[in-house]
Structure 1
Amino acid sequence: MTVEIQSASEHAVALLGGVPDDTTLRRYLHGLPGVDAVGLEQRAAGLGTRSIKTTSKAWALDKIITLIDLTTLEGADTPGKVRSLVAKALHPDAGDPTCPRVAAVCVYGDMVPDAVAALGAAHGDPDDGDVSVAAVATAFPSGRASLQIKLADTAEAVASGADEIDMVIDRGAFLAGRYRLVFDQIAQVKAACRRDDGTSASLKVILETGELNTYDNIKRASWLAVLAGGDFIKTSTGKTQPAATLPTTLLMLEVVRDWYRATGQQVGVKPAGGIRTAKDAVKYLVTVAETVGEEWLQPHLFRFGASSLLNDVLLQRQKLATGHYTGADYVTID
């Protein structure tokens, strides 16, 4: 299967000043302003100290739940484990029917039919309160496979009912400066997300930021993924460290903000790995709202890839409901 570089979007061609070959991609990506690491980390630290009003706590906790991708990505996964994951996704707090559902369950491709079956009528658009099925693909987490295998992996997951595909980029190719190769692979995986009825699964492009070494590389990889047609850019597989950090997520949000200003197209962001407490998650909500706007705080534009986060959010939610709640457990009170 081959997708010609001329199939790139008009927006990408316009920004690049030509079709996305090695020359135009290198000129564009290396022409981006360098990242001021100190300034970026100071901005992130400042956003991380913002407080939230006491009356907003319940809203924030519920919002975080609706943005979580609940995940099981282990070699020992079984259909029974996936069914348990789906039950948790649908009823995060079994004792409280007012608790919202999470956005999605994320599984390996061969587990997609089990997730779809377990969700039943609740399988659908998380923006409407249903739960979608995300599948990792393209030889996750290493990405070390032939393009043919990556495309087959993607197409099989989509045919099985996956609503979202989380692909990994070839970090080795990116770090070697083979930008057209990475661009073309993203574009071809995007094409493999297309269904027979003309609709497409959403494509999340995992950069594995912890392996990219510099903020400049993260910025370039983010732009490359957006130019190639990614619907989301995602920090990490969760299998390497460091995973998601607030400065890295802020940088990626700035990229999608600038893309939106240039093209009018909205692209989502998904920090994944290492976000474990409600207090930390609130910092990300604030960063999103201050960088791209509150409009991005909905499932088709922002996600948390952090399954352990849910337990702490539920604990804080229960404390708030019963009155046995301390602001120190969560975030500074105005």
Structure 2
Amino acid sequence: QSALQRDLEWISKVRVNTQAVLKRAQQIQGQKTPKKQWQAAWLLKAVTCIDLTTLAGDDTPSNVHRLCLKAIQPVRYDLLRKMDMHDKGITTAAVCVYPSRVADAVKSLKAANSSLPVASVATGFPAGQTPLETRLQEVRMAVADGATEIDIVINRTLALTGQWEAMYDEIRQFREACGDAHMKTILAIGELGTFTNVYKASMVAMMAGSDFIKTSTGKEAVNATYPVAIVMVRAIRDYLLCTGHKIYHHVTGQYAAYHELPMA
């Protein structure tokens, strides 16, 4: 039995304590939030973590160009000056577009003399239901056009039917197609059914080479919740303890209004 098979066998036996997760989520939501200048500092930090995104059917080169300019200067200059942050180079983390618009984003950012990364969704986003070779080709095309971050989506059918090795194999192929580009694996948590499936999908995605695990496509009815975040972050912690390798958590959608978010 290979090491991979042993790991997958262990993952298949994992069960998440739902009541414990819900209790912890309630405790987090009851914590105090930062005020005044500390609140402003956290909000500004949040801006720098955003992938400014357009994933619309009517995207055009001009839409993408405007998005890139907004990503380069996401906060009004007068506000930054009041906070004495006008010379700190505040930008979003990246610009995110469909594969067909990657070249437009790269061109716009280059013209603006910006090194901001271009991210691209791929692998049959948002459903992940296209043939595997088509999904792989999407990744290769986006990378060839200049994307340095690729947001892949898992095939939810594999998770819902417990085909964890098949999911691992698909994600490994996406990892290879990404080359040097960072790979974010979107779990689409609103379609996974249980916390246990979220944990298992998180672990498989990390084992297969993901740099980030991401809550959702933004297209599902449920995109992010406190309990799901706890499960995903716990999986990241467990993976770090087992391997020494740090993976990152990316949220799509919103948990709540900013004034309800605890900073712990």
Q: Please, what is the CA RMSD of the aligned residues?
A: 1.8
Cα distance change, pair 123–192 in 1 and its aligned pair in 2 (3 A): farther
Query: Who is 2:44 aligned against?
Result: 62
Query: Matches of 2:184 and 2:18 in 1, distance apart?
Result: 25
Matches within 5 A, 1:247-266: 247-266=227-246
Distance in 1, Cα, partners of 2:256 & 2:121: 21
**Matched residue, 1:148:** 133
Partner of 1:7: none
1:38 to 19, 25, 33: 19
- 5 Å matches for 1:38-117? 38-51=19-32, 52=34, 54-96=36-78, 97=80, 98=85, 100-117=90-107
Q: Quick one: distance in 1 between partners of 2:247 and 2:29?
A: 23
- Look up the match of 1:320: none
Which position in structure 2 is the counterpart of 1:184? 169
1:165 alignment partner in structure 2? 150
1:118 to 98, 108, 111: 108
Q: How far 1:30 sits from its partner (Å)?
A: 2.2
- For normalisation by structure 1, the TM-score amounts to 0.72
1:121-132 to 2 correspondence within 5 Å? 123-124=114-115, 131-132=116-117
Asked if 1:20 corresponds to 2:4, the answer is yes
Shift of 1:132: 1.4
Q: Offset at 1:95?
A: 3.5
- In 1, Cα distance between equivalents of 2:28 and 2:148: 32
Which of 217, 232, 235 matches 2:212? 232
User: Residue 84 of structure 1 aligns to which amino acid in structure 2?
Assistant: R
Cα separation, partners in 2 of 1:176 and 1:155, compared to 1, 3 Å: same
Q: Would the aligned equivalents of 2:160 and 2:193 in 1 still touch at CA under 8 Å?
A: no
Instruction: Quote the residue 1:29 is aligned against.
Output: 11
**Distance of aligned partners of 1:185 and 1:261 in 2 relative to their CA distance in 1, 3 Å threshold:** same
Distance 1:146-1:274 versus aligned 2 partners, 3 A rule: same
- The percent identity for this pair of structures is 38
> How many angstroms apart in 2 are the aligned matches of 1:279 and 1:42?
21
Compare 37-46 and 67-76 and name the one that shifted more: 37-46
- Equivalenced residue count is 254
By relative contact order (CA 8 Å, sep 6+), the higher-ranking structure is 1
1:53: how far off?
Answer: 5.1
The DSSP-based 3-state class of the residue aligned with 2:77 is coil
Partner SS for 2:66: helix
Give the TM-score taking structure 2 as reference length: 0.90
For 1:42 and 1:116, the matched residues in 2 are separated by 45
- Give the secondary-structure state (helix, strand or coil) at the position aligned to 1:165: strand
Structure 2 residue ranges without an equivalent (≥5): none
